[in-house]
């Protein structure tokens, strides 16, 4: 089965499941493997619980007419996600950072959804499985997709960018999370900056904290950027006033109350 054919089948059954405990009627079950489990072994169970088809990569678990045999289930899921993303008109905003990703993602979605039809990463499903699942939740009428990206080693954000192919991006900060995997603070900076590297290489838009010296340095000569700052008036001046309990901001000398 070609990727195009698999995508056509997905459009007929646009719900993906990777867990037999969460099978939806007529979904597609992707038999992922882990360190301690083999999803292929659960393909029959998924079908019995109502899955329309099961995508597997071990011939021994084939069920005639109900399984789709591929070379590698996870890679197929990732390729299907990219294919679906490119078949839709939605724009993709990706964000990463050492801290605050999920909160920032929720805030971005809350604001953008006031004007556009959006989808966003559910919870913190931000890895090599979660990002494809998020992309596959894009619907025909979706206008903006907010995709959170997590990483604990260099190269991971680059990999996720190649799957999601974002149009816009933002890095919350560079901190000391996952130092062991990144090999130190400099490794964190390099790893998270892979989002900026992808966006710049593809002439996409970047949102930035212009008061962050690392972001300023990396984006100094890049043109397609928009930032905020409390000090540099060439960027949007946004001042946090308080939250009692609703957030109040001052944007370009205009107070904005979110209540």
CATH number at residue 214: 3.40.1190.10
Burial environment of residue 216 by CB neighbours within 10 A (0 to 12, 13 to 18, 19 or more)? middle
Residues 135 and 192 in one domain: yes
Does residue 255 lie in a domain region?
A: no
Classify residue 232: in a domain, yes or no.
no
Work out the widest C-alpha separation in the chain, in whole angstroms. Answer: 67
Within this chain, do residues 56 and 99 fall inside the same structural domain, yes or no?
Answer: no
In this structure, the answer to whether residues 29 and 151 fall within a common structural domain is no
At 178, the pLDDT band (50, 70, 90 cuts) reads: low
145 and 208 housed in the same domain: yes
pLDDT for the residue 11: 97
How many independent structural domains does the chain possess? 2
Residues 104 and 158 in one domain: yes
Q: Which range, of 77-91, 128-142, 154-168, 212-226, averages the lowest pLDDT?
A: 212-226
Strands (E), 158-235: 168-171, 205-209, 225-229
Which residue range is the domain that position 40 belongs to? Answer: 3-79
Residue 120 belongs to a domain: yes
Q: Same structural domain for residues 119 and 195?
A: yes
Average pLDDT of the chain, as a whole number: 93
Residue 61 and residue 118 share a domain: no
Q: Does 95 share its domain with 7?
A: no
97 or 90, greater pLDDT: 90
Shared-domain flag, residues 98 and 220: yes
pLDDT band at 237 (very low <50, low <70, confident <90, very high): confident
Comparing 34-43, 177-186, 211-220, 234-243, the range with the smallest average pLDDT is 177-186
pLDDT at 25: 94
Q: Checking DSSP bridges between strand 254-257 and strand 247-251, what pairing results, if any?
A: antiparallel
Please indicate, yes or no, whether residues 97 and 204 belong to a single structural domain of this protein: yes
Q: Dihedral of CA 243/245/251/256: which sign? A: negative
Quick one: pLDDT at residue 171? 95
In a domain, 117, yes or no: yes
Residue 244: inside a domain:
no
Calculate Rg over the CA atoms of the chain: 21
CB neighbour list of residue 75: distance below 8 Å, 6 or more residues apart: none
Same domain for 110 and 205, yes or no, is yes
Q: What is the rounded average pLDDT of the residues 225-245? A: 84
Last residue of a domain, one of 28, 58, 79: 79
In a domain, 207, yes or no: yes
Question: Reduced to 3 states, what is the DSSP secondary structure of residue 136?
Answer: coil
| 30 in any annotated domain | yes
- Which residue from 173, 171, 122, 172 is spatially nearest to 145, judged by alpha carbons? 122
**Same domain, yes or no, for 114 and 202?**
yes
94: in domain: yes
């Amino acid at each position: 089965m070609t990727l195009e054919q698999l995508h056509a089948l997905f459009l007929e059954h646009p719900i993906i499941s990777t867990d037999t405990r969460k099978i939806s009627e007529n979904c597609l079950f992707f038999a992922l493997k882990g360190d301690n489990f083999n999803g292929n072994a659960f393909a029959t169970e998924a079908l019995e619980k109502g899955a329309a088809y099961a995508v597997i990569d071990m011939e021994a678990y084939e069920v005639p007419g109900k399984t789709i045999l591929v070379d590698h289930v996870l890679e197929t899921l990732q390729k299907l996600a990219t294919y679906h993303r490119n078949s839709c008109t939605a724009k993709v905003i990706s964000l990463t950072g050492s801290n605050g990703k999920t909160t920032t993602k929720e805030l971005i979605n809350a604001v953008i959804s006031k004007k556009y039809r959006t989808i966003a990463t559910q919870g913190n499903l931000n890895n090599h499985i979660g990002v494809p699942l998020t992309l596959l939740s894009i619907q025909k009428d979706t206008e903006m997709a907010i995709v959170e990206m997590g990483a604990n080693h260099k190269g991971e954000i680059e990999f996720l960018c190649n799957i999601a192919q974002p149009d816009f991006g933002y890095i919350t900060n560079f901190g000391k999370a996952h130092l062991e995997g990144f090999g130190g603070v400099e490794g964190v900076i390099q790893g998270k900056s892979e989002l900026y590297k992808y966006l710049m290489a593809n002439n996409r838009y970047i949102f930035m904290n212009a008061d962050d010296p690392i972001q300023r340095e990396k984006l100094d000569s890049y043109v397609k950027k928009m930032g905020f700052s409390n000090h540099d008036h060439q960027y949007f001046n946004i001042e946090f006033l308080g939250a009692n309990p609703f957030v109040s901001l001052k944007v370009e000398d205009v107070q904005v109350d979110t209540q």
